Amino acid sequence: MVEARVSERGLDVPHRPARHRLPARQRLLVAGALTVAVLFAVYVWGGYELGWRWTGLSNSVHLWDWLQVVALPVAVGIAPLLLRHRRQMTRQHRTALAVALLVFAVLVAAAYLIPLGWTGFTGNTLWDWLELMLLPLVVASASLWVGRGSLPRPVVLAGLSVAGAFAVLVACGYLVPLTWTGFRGNTAWDWIRLLLVPVLLPTVLLPALSQRVTSRLIPPVE
Protein backbone atom coordinates (compact mmCIF):
# COMPACT_ATOMS: atom_id res chain seq x y z
CA MET A 1 0.00 0.00 0.00
CA VAL A 2 1.15 3.55 -0.75
CA GLU A 3 1.55 5.53 2.44
CA ALA A 4 0.23 9.08 2.56
CA ARG A 5 1.46 12.11 4.44
CA VAL A 6 -0.32 15.36 5.29
CA SER A 7 1.14 18.45 3.70
CA GLU A 8 1.01 21.94 5.11
CA ARG A 9 -2.28 22.57 3.21
CA GLY A 10 -3.96 19.55 4.76
CA LEU A 11 -3.92 17.47 1.60
CA ASP A 12 -2.94 13.85 1.52
CA VAL A 13 0.12 13.50 -0.70
CA PRO A 14 1.40 10.04 -1.66
CA HIS A 15 4.69 9.28 0.04
CA ARG A 16 7.32 8.18 -2.47
CA PRO A 17 9.95 5.85 -1.07
CA ALA A 18 13.48 7.23 -1.35
CA ARG A 19 15.59 5.69 -4.07
CA HIS A 20 18.33 3.43 -2.90
CA ARG A 21 21.71 5.05 -3.45
CA LEU A 22 25.14 3.66 -2.86
CA PRO A 23 27.19 5.26 -0.10
CA ALA A 24 29.62 7.94 -1.23
CA ARG A 25 32.63 5.69 -0.63
CA GLN A 26 31.20 2.90 -2.77
CA ARG A 27 30.29 5.34 -5.53
CA LEU A 28 33.88 6.59 -5.55
CA LEU A 29 35.17 3.01 -5.73
CA VAL A 30 32.85 2.17 -8.62
CA ALA A 31 33.79 5.35 -10.47
CA GLY A 32 37.48 4.67 -9.88
CA ALA A 33 37.16 1.08 -11.10
CA LEU A 34 35.34 2.18 -14.26
CA THR A 35 37.98 4.84 -14.91
CA VAL A 36 40.80 2.34 -14.53
CA ALA A 37 38.99 -0.13 -16.82
CA VAL A 38 38.53 2.51 -19.53
CA LEU A 39 42.15 3.66 -19.30
CA PHE A 40 43.35 0.06 -19.45
CA ALA A 41 41.21 -0.62 -22.53
CA VAL A 42 42.66 2.47 -24.22
CA TYR A 43 46.18 1.32 -23.27
CA VAL A 44 45.64 -2.15 -24.78
CA TRP A 45 43.91 -0.80 -27.90
CA GLY A 46 46.60 1.79 -28.46
CA GLY A 47 49.40 -0.72 -28.01
CA TYR A 48 48.06 -3.52 -30.21
CA GLU A 49 46.00 -1.65 -32.82
CA LEU A 50 47.51 1.83 -33.03
CA GLY A 51 51.12 0.85 -32.43
CA TRP A 52 51.84 3.23 -29.55
CA ARG A 53 55.43 2.35 -28.72
CA TRP A 54 55.35 3.77 -25.21
CA THR A 55 52.88 1.05 -24.18
CA GLY A 56 55.42 -1.70 -24.81
CA LEU A 57 52.64 -3.78 -26.38
CA SER A 58 52.89 -5.41 -29.78
CA ASN A 59 52.07 -8.69 -31.48
CA SER A 60 55.06 -10.21 -29.68
CA VAL A 61 53.31 -9.77 -26.31
CA HIS A 62 51.10 -12.85 -25.97
CA LEU A 63 48.56 -14.15 -23.48
CA TRP A 64 51.40 -16.05 -21.76
CA ASP A 65 53.16 -12.75 -21.03
CA TRP A 66 49.97 -11.29 -19.58
CA LEU A 67 49.55 -14.33 -17.32
CA GLN A 68 53.09 -13.84 -16.01
CA VAL A 69 52.14 -10.31 -15.00
CA VAL A 70 48.63 -10.77 -13.57
CA ALA A 71 48.44 -14.35 -12.22
CA LEU A 72 49.94 -13.69 -8.78
CA PRO A 73 48.33 -10.25 -8.18
CA VAL A 74 44.90 -11.65 -9.10
CA ALA A 75 45.42 -14.61 -6.75
CA VAL A 76 46.47 -12.27 -3.92
CA GLY A 77 43.35 -10.18 -4.53
CA ILE A 78 41.00 -13.17 -4.61
CA ALA A 79 42.41 -14.96 -1.55
CA PRO A 80 41.00 -12.56 1.12
CA LEU A 81 37.57 -12.61 -0.54
CA LEU A 82 37.48 -16.40 -0.50
CA LEU A 83 38.74 -16.52 3.08
CA ARG A 84 35.90 -14.26 4.18
CA HIS A 85 33.04 -15.36 1.95
CA ARG A 86 33.81 -18.96 0.96
CA ARG A 87 31.00 -20.34 3.12
CA GLN A 88 28.52 -17.99 1.44
CA MET A 89 29.35 -19.30 -2.04
CA THR A 90 26.31 -20.80 -3.73
CA ARG A 91 26.11 -23.66 -6.20
CA GLN A 92 25.91 -21.10 -9.00
CA HIS A 93 29.22 -19.58 -7.87
CA ARG A 94 30.93 -22.95 -7.81
CA THR A 95 29.46 -23.85 -11.20
CA ALA A 96 30.70 -20.58 -12.71
CA LEU A 97 34.17 -21.21 -11.28
CA ALA A 98 34.23 -24.76 -12.65
CA VAL A 99 33.08 -23.55 -16.10
CA ALA A 100 35.81 -20.87 -16.12
CA LEU A 101 38.47 -23.46 -15.29
CA LEU A 102 37.12 -25.81 -17.96
CA VAL A 103 37.16 -23.03 -20.59
CA PHE A 104 40.75 -22.19 -19.69
CA ALA A 105 41.75 -25.87 -19.92
CA VAL A 106 40.14 -26.14 -23.37
CA LEU A 107 41.95 -22.97 -24.45
CA VAL A 108 45.30 -24.39 -23.31
CA ALA A 109 44.68 -27.68 -25.14
CA ALA A 110 43.63 -25.84 -28.32
CA ALA A 111 46.66 -23.56 -28.10
CA TYR A 112 48.98 -26.59 -28.24
CA LEU A 113 47.03 -28.69 -30.73
CA ILE A 114 45.95 -26.16 -33.37
CA PRO A 115 48.17 -24.14 -32.37
CA LEU A 116 46.99 -20.65 -31.40
CA GLY A 117 49.99 -18.39 -31.81
CA TRP A 118 48.43 -15.40 -30.01
CA THR A 119 48.38 -17.34 -26.72
CA GLY A 120 52.14 -17.89 -26.65
CA PHE A 121 51.57 -21.26 -24.97
CA THR A 122 53.30 -23.37 -27.62
CA GLY A 123 56.84 -24.24 -26.58
CA ASN A 124 56.21 -23.88 -22.85
CA THR A 125 56.73 -27.09 -20.91
CA LEU A 126 55.11 -28.38 -17.73
CA TRP A 127 58.01 -26.88 -15.79
CA ASP A 128 57.16 -23.45 -17.23
CA TRP A 129 53.52 -23.87 -16.19
CA LEU A 130 54.58 -24.84 -12.68
CA GLU A 131 56.73 -21.72 -12.43
CA LEU A 132 53.82 -19.63 -13.68
CA MET A 133 50.83 -21.08 -11.81
CA LEU A 134 51.97 -23.02 -8.73
CA LEU A 135 52.32 -20.09 -6.31
CA PRO A 136 49.18 -18.26 -7.53
CA LEU A 137 47.14 -21.47 -7.16
CA VAL A 138 48.43 -22.01 -3.62
CA VAL A 139 47.62 -18.42 -2.67
CA ALA A 140 44.16 -18.45 -4.27
CA SER A 141 43.22 -21.73 -2.57
CA ALA A 142 44.25 -20.53 0.89
CA SER A 143 40.61 -20.59 2.06
CA LEU A 144 40.55 -24.38 1.69
CA TRP A 145 43.15 -25.07 4.33
CA VAL A 146 43.74 -21.98 6.50
CA GLY A 147 42.05 -22.23 9.89
CA ARG A 148 41.24 -25.91 9.55
CA GLY A 149 42.22 -28.60 11.95
CA SER A 150 43.15 -32.07 10.77
CA LEU A 151 42.13 -32.81 7.22
CA PRO A 152 39.59 -35.56 6.48
CA ARG A 153 41.11 -38.91 5.62
CA PRO A 154 39.81 -38.93 2.00
CA VAL A 155 41.46 -35.55 1.41
CA VAL A 156 44.74 -36.80 2.86
CA LEU A 157 44.62 -39.95 0.72
CA ALA A 158 43.83 -37.92 -2.40
CA GLY A 159 46.73 -35.60 -1.66
CA LEU A 160 49.13 -38.50 -1.16
CA SER A 161 47.94 -40.07 -4.42
CA VAL A 162 48.53 -36.86 -6.35
CA ALA A 163 51.96 -36.45 -4.76
CA GLY A 164 52.87 -40.05 -5.64
CA ALA A 165 51.71 -39.66 -9.24
CA PHE A 166 53.69 -36.43 -9.55
CA ALA A 167 56.81 -38.13 -8.18
CA VAL A 168 56.48 -40.84 -10.84
CA LEU A 169 56.02 -38.17 -13.51
CA VAL A 170 59.17 -36.37 -12.33
CA ALA A 171 61.17 -39.60 -12.47
CA CYS A 172 59.90 -40.31 -16.00
CA GLY A 173 60.69 -36.75 -16.99
CA TYR A 174 64.35 -37.32 -16.11
CA LEU A 175 64.80 -40.99 -17.04
CA VAL A 176 62.72 -41.61 -20.17
CA PRO A 177 62.95 -38.59 -20.76
CA LEU A 178 59.62 -36.88 -21.36
CA THR A 179 60.67 -33.68 -23.08
CA TRP A 180 57.24 -32.03 -22.71
CA THR A 181 57.73 -31.95 -18.94
CA GLY A 182 60.83 -29.76 -19.19
CA PHE A 183 62.16 -31.41 -16.02
CA ARG A 184 65.42 -32.70 -17.42
CA GLY A 185 68.22 -30.22 -16.89
CA ASN A 186 66.72 -28.76 -13.72
CA THR A 187 68.83 -29.37 -10.61
CA ALA A 188 67.83 -29.85 -6.98
CA TRP A 189 68.39 -26.12 -6.47
CA ASP A 190 65.88 -25.34 -9.22
CA TRP A 191 63.30 -27.53 -7.48
CA ILE A 192 63.98 -25.82 -4.14
CA ARG A 193 63.39 -22.42 -5.72
CA LEU A 194 60.21 -23.70 -7.35
CA LEU A 195 58.69 -25.40 -4.30
CA LEU A 196 60.04 -23.50 -1.29
CA VAL A 197 57.46 -20.71 -1.06
CA PRO A 198 54.44 -22.76 -2.29
CA VAL A 199 55.20 -25.43 0.34
CA LEU A 200 56.04 -23.09 3.22
CA LEU A 201 53.07 -20.81 2.57
CA PRO A 202 50.28 -23.27 3.47
CA THR A 203 52.24 -25.32 6.02
CA VAL A 204 54.01 -22.63 8.06
CA LEU A 205 53.50 -19.00 7.05
CA LEU A 206 49.72 -18.67 6.71
CA PRO A 207 48.79 -20.85 9.74
CA ALA A 208 51.15 -18.79 11.92
CA LEU A 209 49.75 -15.54 10.53
CA SER A 210 46.17 -16.72 10.98
CA GLN A 211 46.82 -17.72 14.59
CA ARG A 212 48.48 -14.38 15.34
CA VAL A 213 45.63 -12.38 13.80
CA THR A 214 43.05 -14.43 15.68
CA SER A 215 44.85 -13.93 19.00
CA ARG A 216 44.86 -10.17 18.42
CA LEU A 217 41.19 -9.96 17.43
CA ILE A 218 39.81 -12.27 20.15
CA PRO A 219 40.69 -11.17 23.71
CA PRO A 220 41.93 -13.88 26.07
CA VAL A 221 39.38 -15.40 28.44
CA GLU A 222 40.18 -14.57 32.07
Three-state DSSP class for residue 145: coil
Domain of 57, in residue numbers? 23-61
Q: Do 149 and 170 lie in a common domain?
A: yes
Residue 139 to residue 78: CA distance in whole angstroms: 9
What string of pLDDT tens digits covers the 222 residues of the chain? 444 444 445 555 555 555 566 677 788 888 899 999 999 999 999 999 999 999 999 999 999 999 999 999 998 888 877 777 777 778 888 899 899 999 999 999 999 999 899 999 999 999 999 999 999 998 888 777 665 556 678 877 888 899 999 999 999 999 998 999 999 999 999 999 999 888 887 777 766 666 665 555 555 555
Q: Do 154 and 134 lie in a common domain?
A: yes
Q: Do 28 and 110 lie in a common domain?
A: no
In this prediction the pTM is: 0.78
Instruction: Burial-class residue 170 by CB neighbours within 10 Å (0-12, 13-18, 19+).
Output: middle
Q: Do 72 and 57 lie in a common domain?
A: no
Q: Do 30 and 119 lie in a common domain?
A: no
Q: Do 127 and 167 lie in a common domain?
A: yes
**Number of structural domains the chain divides into:** 2
Sorted by sequence, the CB contacts under 8 Å of residue 43 that are 6+ apart come out as 55, 57
Q: Do 173 and 83 lie in a common domain?
A: yes
